[in-house]
């Protein structure tokens, strides 16, 4: 099994906190679709004929593509890859793009799951984040998506913003539950370099993030969603038992995937690759590639490549494993790495941050907010 990720590098406006690769110019949208189709053809051998269990359109804002443009990309995917029956096909979307007509058009494509960037149901929060939609549009888009038949959907919510009180955060969670949303991805607002938010904090236009507030709101999140029957299956992700994300679950469990589009990352089990994070260079380099010839990895300028050492693989497994409800299984490690892991894990068991369940070591509720720091202490 494998996954396919497609990066659509366009946004109508820049959110103040975002450091993903995108452009607010839509001038070369048609050329980008053609280049992505060309890369799909050229990269068809990367996954060694593994069947696709998931396809994920991320960005950027994939919902800026029309259903017709998505159909062109799906035609290329179908021509070069095999999908398992019922494969999960996710499209990230902004609420303001999800009109009734657009949703009807999506129903005529293979898209069967939506990931909607709600972020908050508060106008105050949304203005602070510089989102294009308001609170009314946030709820209305979800109601339209459900009415259009998209029962499998997830929403993004952000906590820890200076404008997000504990009461508002609880109201956001309650609103999602009342709407019957089966999956939530919830992230603490972080300050990334070279973003508008970083500049605002540096110049005193916005206050710095409050780690205690973020920790408190994370605790509220876990308590409310687990109390409502959701599985906390990854640090930032919660789902009804039948609604776990296939694509992201496979990513965290080390399943190979191909990334197509500017800045997209790929993983084949032995190495990682990342495409050039520049739209103009991506378009130019795809235009130079002969899709008939197999790629010469050491010479190809479209992407960079890193071969993973055994230690790299250990560190990545610990990092991703600890973030999930499946945890880390020592028997999956080499004898040397297993000895290191078991020696260093005990301190976190003693602090009740990690517990052993059957053959896995998993984070306790109190350990989940410290996941990255705990994993770093277990690295080699």
Domain annotation covers residue 287: no
Q: Looking at the structure, do residues 352 and 224 belong to the same domain, yes or no? A: no
Q: Looking at the structure, do residues 224 and 314 belong to the same domain, yes or no? A: no
Domain annotation covers residue 266: no
Query: Which pLDDT band holds residue 301 (cuts at 50, 70, 90)?
Result: confident
Q: Looking at the structure, do residues 330 and 240 belong to the same domain, yes or no? A: no
Query: Which pLDDT band holds residue 293 (cuts at 50, 70, 90)?
Result: low
Q: Looking at the structure, do residues 136 and 238 belong to the same domain, yes or no? A: yes
Q: Looking at the structure, do residues 122 and 229 belong to the same domain, yes or no? A: yes
Distance CA 338, CA 359 (A): 13
Domain annotation covers residue 288: no
Q: CB–CB of 142/233 below 8 Å?
A: no
| CATH number for the domain that contains residue 357 | 1.10.10
Is the pLDDT at 25 greater than 90? The verdict is: no
Query: Which pLDDT band holds residue 292 (cuts at 50, 70, 90)?
Result: low
Q: What is the dihedral of CA 371, 244, 268, 292, to 10 degrees?
A: -140
Q: Looking at the structure, do residues 355 and 233 belong to the same domain, yes or no? A: no
Q: Give the pLDDT of residue 129.
A: 94
Query: Which pLDDT band holds residue 296 (cuts at 50, 70, 90)?
Result: low
Q: Name the domain boundary from 252, 272, 297.
A: 252
Q: Looking at the structure, do residues 29 and 178 belong to the same domain, yes or no? A: yes
Query: Which pLDDT band holds residue 14 (cuts at 50, 70, 90)?
Result: confident
Q: Give the pLDDT of residue 298.
A: 46
For residue 186, list its beta bridge partners. 157
Domain annotation covers residue 271: no
Number of domains in the chain: 2
Q: Give the pLDDT of residue 104.
A: 98
Give the range among 28-37, 191-200, 308-317, 325-334 with minimum mean pLDDT.
191-200
Is the pLDDT at 299 greater than 60? The verdict is: no
Report percent pLDDT > 90 for the chain.
89
When the pLDDT of each residue in the chain is averaged and rounded to a whole number, the result is 95
Distance CA 207, CA 163 (A): 10
Question: pLDDT of 232-290, one tens digit each?
Answer: 999 999 999 999 999 999 999 999 999 999 999 999 999 999 999 999 999 999 988 87
Distance CA 104, CA 18 (A): 29
CA distances from 249 to 54, 75, 112, 138 (A): 10, 26, 17, 26
Q: Name the domain boundary from 208, 233, 252.
A: 252
Q: Give the pLDDT of residue 351.
A: 97
Domain annotation covers residue 285: no
Is the pLDDT at 297 greater than 90? The verdict is: no
Q: Looking at the structure, do residues 212 and 344 belong to the same domain, yes or no? A: no
Q: Looking at the structure, do residues 98 and 182 belong to the same domain, yes or no? A: yes
Domain annotation covers residue 284: no
Question: pLDDT of 32-78, one tens digit each?
Answer: 999 999 999 999 999 999 999 999 999 999 999 999 999 999 999 99
| CATH number for the domain that contains residue 195 | 3.20.20.70
Q: Name the domain boundary from 252, 267, 297.
A: 252
Domain annotation covers residue 286: no
What letter does residue 163 receive in the DSSP assignment? T
Where residue 218 falls (left for φ over 0; alpha for ψ -120 to 50; beta otherwise) is alpha
Query: Which pLDDT band holds residue 16 (cuts at 50, 70, 90)?
Result: confident
Q: Give the pLDDT of residue 20.
A: 75
Query: Which pLDDT band holds residue 295 (cuts at 50, 70, 90)?
Result: low
Query: Which pLDDT band holds residue 90 (cuts at 50, 70, 90)?
Result: very high
Query: Which pLDDT band holds residue 30 (cuts at 50, 70, 90)?
Result: very high
Q: Looking at the structure, do residues 212 and 354 belong to the same domain, yes or no? A: no
39 closest CA partner among 262, 351, 367: 262
Query: Which pLDDT band holds residue 24 (cuts at 50, 70, 90)?
Result: confident
Q: Give the pLDDT of residue 367.
A: 96
List the domain range (segments joined by +) for residue 344. 310-378
Report percent pLDDT > 70 for the chain.
97
Q: Looking at the structure, do residues 80 and 206 belong to the same domain, yes or no? A: yes
Distance CA 187, CA 294 (A): 40
Distance CA 108, CA 375 (A): 43
Q: Looking at the structure, do residues 237 and 326 belong to the same domain, yes or no? A: no
Domain annotation covers residue 61: yes
């Amino acid at each position: 099994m494998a996954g396919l990720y497609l990066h659509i590098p366009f946004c109508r406006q820049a959110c103040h906190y975002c450091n993903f690769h995108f452009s607010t110019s839509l001038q070369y949208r048609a050329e980008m679709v053609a280049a992505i189709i060309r890369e799909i053809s050229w990269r068809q051998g990367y996954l060694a004929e593994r069947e696709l269990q998931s396809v994920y359109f991320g960005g950027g804002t994939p919902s800026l593509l029309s259903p017709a443009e998505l159909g062109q990309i799906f035609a290329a995917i179908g021509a070069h890859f095999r999908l398992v029956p019922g494969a999960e096909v996710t499209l990230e979307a902004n609420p303001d793009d999800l009109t009734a007509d657009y949703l009807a058009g999506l129903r005529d494509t293979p898209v069967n799951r939506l990931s909607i960037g709600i972020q908050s149901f508060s106008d105050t929060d949304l203005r602070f984040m510089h989102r294009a939609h308001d609170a009314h549009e946030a709820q209305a888009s979800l109601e339209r998506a459900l009415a259009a038949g998209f029962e499998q959907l997830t929403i993004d919510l952000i906590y820890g913003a200076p404008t997000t009180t504990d009461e508002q955060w609880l109201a956001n969670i309650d609103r999602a539950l009342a709407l019957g949303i089966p999956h939530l991805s919830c992230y603490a607002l972080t300050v990334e370099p070279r973003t508008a938010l970083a500049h605002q904090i540096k110049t005193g236009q916005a206050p710095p993030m409050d780690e205690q507030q973020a920790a408190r709101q994370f605790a509220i999140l876990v308590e409310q969603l687990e109390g409502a029957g959701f599985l906390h299956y990854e640090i930032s992700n919660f789902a009804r038992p039948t609604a776990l994300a296939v694509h992201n679950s496979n990513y965290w469990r080390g399943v190979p995937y191909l990334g197509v589009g500017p800045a997209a990352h790929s993983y084949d089990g032995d190495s990682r690759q990342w495409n050039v994070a520049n739209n103009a260079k991506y378009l130019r380099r795809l235009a130079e590639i002969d899709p008939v010839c197999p790629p010469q990895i050491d010479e190809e300028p479209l992407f960079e490549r890193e071969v993973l050492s055994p230690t790299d693989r250990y560190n990545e497994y610990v990092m991703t494993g600890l973030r999930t409800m499946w945890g880390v299984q020592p028997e999956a490690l080499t004898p040397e790495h297993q000895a290191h892991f078991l020696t260093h894990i005990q301190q976190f068991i003693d602090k009740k941050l990690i517990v052993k369940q059957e053959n896995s070591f998993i984070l306790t509720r109190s350990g989940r907010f410290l996941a990255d720091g705990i994993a770093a202490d277990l690295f080699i």
